[in-house]
Amino acid sequence: MTRKNFDDVMQMLKQVPGTEKHLNSFSVLMGKKILKRRIELGLTQQELIVEIRKNGSNITQSTLSKVESGDANATSDTYNKIFYALGELSVITPEYRDKPEKVKN
């Protein structure tokens, strides 16, 4: 059996209908950014929860885990609590790819 690396697995996943759309969804992209920032700060999920509570807000570790994994049910309020504890956002600028097929001329 050959070992697959991350890129190999991602290439295989892209062949599954709907996977690429999911991986490029808002919730998954934001989850990746939140996870990356938390790791950059050297925080565990529990430590981030403590920081969120210091700011007078409250979410559970389970909720944070779901957000980081791209759960589509997270509310904007939940994102705001997390962003604030991670150092706030300086900018969010969506970058669009091509026009959707149904809109192309």
Tens-place pLDDT, residues 18-34 = 888 888 889 999 999 99
- 32-65 pLDDT, tens digit per residue, is 999 999 999 999 999 999 999 999 999 999 999 9
Are the C-beta atoms of residues 45 and 38 closer than 8 Å to each other? yes
Distance CA 83, CA 6 (A): 28
**Within a domain: 66:** yes
Structure tokens at 4: 């697959």
Domain range for residue 80?
18-85
> With 0-12 CB in 10 A as exposed, 13-18 as middle and 19+ as buried, what is 15?
exposed
Examine residue 7 and state whether it is found in any structural domain, yes or no.
Answer: no
> What mean pLDDT is reported for the chain?
88
What pLDDT score does 46 carry?
97
Question: Would you say residue 105 lies in a domain?
Answer: no
CATH of the domain at 67: 1.10.260
Q: Which residue has the higher pLDDT, 58 or 7?
A: 58
pTM: 0.77
Query: Looking at the 3D structure of the chain, how many domains does it have?
Result: 1
Domain contains 25: yes
Q: What interhelical angle do 76-85 and 26-40 show, nearest 10?
A: 20
Asked if residue 29 is part of any domain, the answer here is yes
Domain membership flag for residue 8:
no
